[in-house]
Amino acid sequence: MNDKLCCNTFNFLVLNRLYETGFSDGQILCLGVSGGADSICLLTAIANALDEKKVKQPIYVFTVDHKIRSKEESGGDCDFVKNYCDSLNQKLHYVKIICEVCELKKGQVLHEAEIRNRGIEEAARYLRYKVFENKILLLLNSSENKKAFIALAHNENDQVETLIMRFLSGSDSGARGGIQVKRTVLLENDKELNYVRPLLKVSRKEIEEYLTQQNILWRTDATNSNNDYLRNKIRNSIIPVLDKNVPGWKTGVLSGSEKANFENSFLEKSIEGIEWQNENGCLFMKQKDFECLDFVQKERLVYRAINQVCDVNRMPFSFVKAVCNGEYNICKNGVEITAEQGLLKVKKSKKKATIYGFFDIIEEDGLYDFDFGSLIVKSCKSGLAELEFVTKGGQNYYLNKVPVPFSFRSRQLSDWVYTKSKSKKSVSDVLSDFKIDADHKNLIPVIEDLSENGKKNIIAVWGNIFGYKNWIV
C-alpha cells in the first residue's frame, strides 16, 4: 500500500471515530491545537477526510498561549499553528479552517495554580478549557445549534500515562477508567459542549509515522523532558523500564481501564435518583438515606459532592473513607462535611484570605510593576543584567549578573535550588530556614534562568526585599 493511500485510510479512521462520538456533518466543530504532533495529526486527518467527502464544513481551531514559557517558545507554537492552518486552507476545497490565537495574561496560570493549589500544569489545563468553553458559547449563541463538539488530541500513550498517574495517586474508582472518549458539559442557555477524543486508540508512534509520511512538521515542547512533572517522570523513566521488563503490560493496563468503565457504568446505575440537594452552595441529603448505601456507593456520592462544591481532584482517600464509615464534622483541603439535624452536609470551608502569586518573563530592559514594588532591569555585558527592586516604601535592593531572559515569579511547590554541594533543596525548605513569615512566603521573588544555557534552573531567591536572607546559586 502506498503512503498516500495509507494516509487516506488513516484520515477516515479518525473521522469515523469522530462520528462515533455523535458528531455529524454541519454541526459546530472545533479543535484544540497546540502545534505538537498529536494535535497537528488530528487537524490534518479530520480536515482532509471531510474535504475528500466534499463536506462544506468550517473547522474552528483554538490555540492557547499560556504565557508560562518564553515568548519565543509559547508564541512560536501559536505562530506555527496559525501558519499551518493557512497552508492547509490553500490545499482544501470544501473545508474552511478558522484559526484563533487565544492569549492568557502573564502570570494568570501561576495565579490560578496558587488559588487551586494543584500545580502549574493543572492550572494551565483548567484555564485552557475555560477559554474553549467561552469561545464555543459565543459560536453557539450566534447560531441555531444547541450543541458543539471540540476534538482534543489525547492518544493511547496519554491514556496509559494517565492510568499510571491515577493509580500512583490513589484516585477514586471513577477515575480508574482513564480519559473518556466523550465528556459533555452543559453551558449557559441549555447549550451543550462535547469534548471528544478521536485519537484515543492511536499510538504516538502511529501519529508520528503518519506525519512523517507526508513531510509534515510539528513542534516539540521543551518541558516534555523536565522530570519535575509526574507525567514526564512516568513517560521518561517508568514506562521504559516496564517496556524492557514486563512484556504486554500496556495491554493489561488498557484492559483494566475498559473493565473499570463497565464497573463504573453499573455503579452509576445503582445510584440513579440519589442526588445531593443544593442550597446556597451547600449540598445536603438525609443522613439515613446515605447510611443505608453500600460503601462504594457512598464513596462515589462523596467524591461527586466534593468536586461539585470545591472542584477538588486530589482529596485523600482517608478523608472520604472516614466519611463513608460515619465520621462526620471533619474538614480537609477546603471541604467541610458535617451532620446536622438528620442531614449530611458538604460545603466549602471558610478560610483566611491569602496572598497569591505573581509571574513575569523578563526578556528586555525596562520597568516592571508588581503589587509590592517595581523591578528595573538594566542590561550589562555578555547577556547579563543588573536588577534593581524598589519597594512601595521606597527602599532599593540589587542583584547583579542575572542572565536574560529570566522569570521573576513567586514560588511553586515543586521548586528546588542547588546547594553548594550540588545537591537539591526545595525552595519551601529554604524559606523555612530563613524563618520567613507565612504572609511573605508567596511574595519572595524567585529568579529562574530561561537563557539558552540555563536549563531553567532557579538562580536566586530574593529574600532581602522583605528583610530576610538571599539564596544565590
- Please give the full DSSP string across 99-162, using - where no structure is assigned: EEEEEPPTTHHHHHHHHHTS-HHHHHHHHHHHHHHHHHHHHHHTSS-SEEEEE----HHHHHHH
d(CA 422, CA 447): 18
Residue 360 pLDDT: 82
d(CA 64, CA 2): 36
Assess whether pLDDT exceeds 60 at residue 352.
Answer: no
Alpha helix locations (H) across 226-286?
230-233, 239-245, 249-270
Collapsed DSSP state (helix, strand, coil) of residue 73: helix
Domains of the chain, residue spans:
3-242, 271-348, 359-472
Identify the bridge partners of residue 12 per DSSP, sorted by sequence position: none
Average pLDDT estimate for 265-278: 94
Where is pLDDT greater, at 103 or 437? 103
CATH code for the part of the protein at 3-242: 3.40.50.620
Q: Residues 95-125: pLDDT tens digits?
A: 999 999 999 987 788 778 767 767 788 889 9
Residue 297 pLDDT: 96
Residue 1 pLDDT: 39
Residue 395 pLDDT: 86
- Confidence label for 439 from pLDDT (cuts 50, 70 and 90): low
Instruction: Provide the pairing of β-strand 28-32 with 58-65.
Output: parallel
Grid cell in block for residue 195: 469534548
Where is pLDDT greater, at 407 or 200? 200
Grid cell in block for residue 228: 519535575
Grid cell in block for residue 208: 508520528
Q: What is the mean pLDDT of the chain?
A: 89
Q: Residues 22-67: pLDDT tens digits?
A: 999 999 999 999 999 999 999 999 999 999 999 999 999 999 999 8
Side-by-side strand order, sheet with 396-403: 366-370, 373-379, 384-391, 396-403
Question: Phi and psi (nearest 5°) for 154?
Answer: -60, 135
Q: Residues 151-182: pLDDT tens digits?
A: 999 999 999 999 999 888 777 777 889 999 99
pTM of the model: 0.75
Identify the bridge partners of residue 446 per DSSP, sorted by sequence position: 409, 461
Which of 39, 34, 15, 32 shows the shortest CA–CA distance to 95?
A: 15
Residue 402 · residue 375 · CB < 8 Å: no
Residue 470 · residue 460 · CB < 8 Å: yes
Q: Residues 287-330: pLDDT tens digits?
A: 999 999 999 999 999 999 988 887 655 678 888 999 999 999 88
Q: Residues 192-250: pLDDT tens digits?
A: 999 999 999 999 999 999 999 999 999 988 777 777 778 889 999 999 999 999 999 99
Angle (deg, nearest 10), helices 3-19 and 37-52: 90
Beta carbons within 8 Å of 95's beta carbon, 6+ residues apart: 47, 50, 51, 55, 56, 57, 58, 59
Identify the bridge partners of residue 338 per DSSP, sorted by sequence position: 345
Residue 157 pLDDT: 96
Residue 353 pLDDT: 43
Residue 364 · residue 70 · CB < 8 Å: no
d(CA 183, CA 151): 11
Share of the chain above pLDDT 90, in %: 59
Q: Residues 130-159: pLDDT tens digits?
A: 999 999 999 999 998 999 999 999 999 999
Average pLDDT estimate for 407-422: 85
Q: How far is CA 258 from CA 154, 163, 171, 196, 264, in A?
A: 17, 11, 16, 17, 10
Residue 113 · residue 119 · CB < 8 Å: yes
